[in-house]
Amino acid sequence: MYPFGSGREGEVMRALGKAAMVGTMAGLLAAGLAVAAPGAGATVVVPGAGAAAASGPAGVQAPYADLADAGTGADLWNQDPTAEVPMGSIVKVMTAYVVIQAGNLDQLITVPSGITAYDKDYDASTAGLRPGEQLTARQLLYAMLLPSGCDAAYTLAAAYGPGLPAFIAKMNATAAQLGLTSTYFTDVSGLPIPTGTSTYSDARDLVALGRDAMALPLFASIVQLASYKLPSQSGLHPSFTWKTTNPLIGDYAGTTGIKTGNTQTAGSCLLFEATRGGQTLIGVVLDDPSFKVASSDAQQMMNWGWNNS
C-alpha cells in the first residue's frame, strides 16, 4: 500500500495555479494585448514590470521549458509546455516518489543479477552496485538520485513491484493519481525501453511532479546534496561515494535540487529548484544540446523569475 495524500494536495494546488494563469491571460486580452494559446510552440509569460518581463528570460535554448512558483504552483513562464517528450532519468523522481510513499525504507534489499545486462545494454549511468550486495531501500535512494544510478532504480523497482512490470504499473497509477495527464512510463530509469519515446511527459507535468516530490522531506534532503558517502558494512556492501549529476548544486546560489536526465532522444534535461529571499522557484528544461546549456537555461529562467515575480 502507498498513500497519495500529498498527491491530492498537489493536484489542488496545480488547479489553483492553472486558474491564476487563466485569469492573467484574460486580463491581458482585456487590455488589448495578444496572448498565444498555451499549446504546441507557444510561449506564455506572466509579466511583471518592464519590457524584460514581457519578453521572458533571454537566451533560453531548450525547446520545452516551464518555470513556476514552487509555493503556489503559479506558472511564471513557459515554452511549449504541453509537448509530450522523453525526459531521461528525470523518471527517477517518480521511482523515488513511489518507493518513499510505500515506506519500509530500512529493509535490506539484495541487488539482483538483472542489473548487469540492464546497465550494459543501454550504457546506463550506475552507482557501482554489484549483484549480491545488500543495501537498505533508503541507501538505494541516495544511489539512484545522486549519481543517477540505473542499477539502484532497477533494484528498488524489483523489490517494490515486486518486479519491474508491477512497479511500472504503480508509477503510472501514481501519475494518474497526481493528475499528470501527459505522463506515461515504460521504464523505471528513463532508459529507451522499448523505444526512445515510449516513456514521455511534458514540462508542465514534470514541474508538478517536482513540487510533489520536493514536499517529501527525505527526497528533498537527498537531492540537495553534492555528494554522499556510505561506509562499508561487513558482509553487506563496500563503501560508496556518490556525487550528484546536478550541475547547479554548488554552482548556483540557493539551489535545492532536483534531477538531471539524458538519452540520445531526450537530449539533456534538467528539473531544478532554488530558493532566494524567501521565494522558491521550480522549473524544467528538456531536450537541450548539453548539460552546460541546460544549466545556463535554468539560471537564466530563475534570474528572470526572481526579478519578475
The DSSP annotation for the chain comes to ----HHHHHHHHHHHHHHHHHHHHHHHHHHTT-----SSTT-EEE---SSHHHHH-STT---SEEEEEETTT--EEEEESTT--B--GGGHHHHHHHHHHHH--TTSEEEPPTTHHHHHHHTT-------TT-EEEHHHHHHHHHSS--HHHHHHHHHHHTTSHHHHHHHHHHHHHHTT-TT-B-S-SS---SS-TTSSBB-HHHHHHHHHHHHTSHHHHHHHT-SEEEE--BTTTB--EEEE---TTTTTSTTEEEEEEEEETTTEEEEEEEEEETTEEEEEEEEEES-HHHHHHHHHHHHHHHHHH-
Among the residue ranges 29-38, 50-59, 170-179, 212-221, the one predicted with the least confidence is: 29-38
What is the mean predicted confidence (pLDDT) over 121-150? 97
Q: Report the pLDDT value the prediction gives residue 45, as an integer from 0 to 100.
A: 55
Tell me whether residue 201 is one of the annotated catalytic residues: no
The confidence band for 105, taking pLDDT boundaries of 50, 70 and 90, is very high
Q: At 52, is the pLDDT very low, low, confident or very high (cuts 50, 70, 90)?
A: very low
**CATH fold group of domain 88-308:** Beta-lactamase (3.40.710)
Tell which wins on pLDDT, 124 or 31.
Answer: 124
- Is 16's pLDDT higher than 90? no
pLDDT tens readout for residues 219-239: 999 999 999 999 999 999 999
More confident residue, 177 or 30: 177
User: Which of these is catalytic: 6, 55, 125, 148?
Assistant: 148
Whether the predicted pLDDT of 303 surpasses 80: yes
Out of 6, 18, 55, 92, which one is annotated catalytic?
92
Task: Please tell me which residue in 6, 55, 89, 234 is annotated as part of the active site.
Answer: 89
What's the pTM? 0.85
Active site residue 259: no
Mean pLDDT rounded to a whole number for the chain: 88
Q: Read off the pLDDT band of 54 (50, 70, 90).
A: low
- Give residue 42's pLDDT: 53
Has 148 been annotated as catalytic?
A: yes
pLDDT of 49: 39
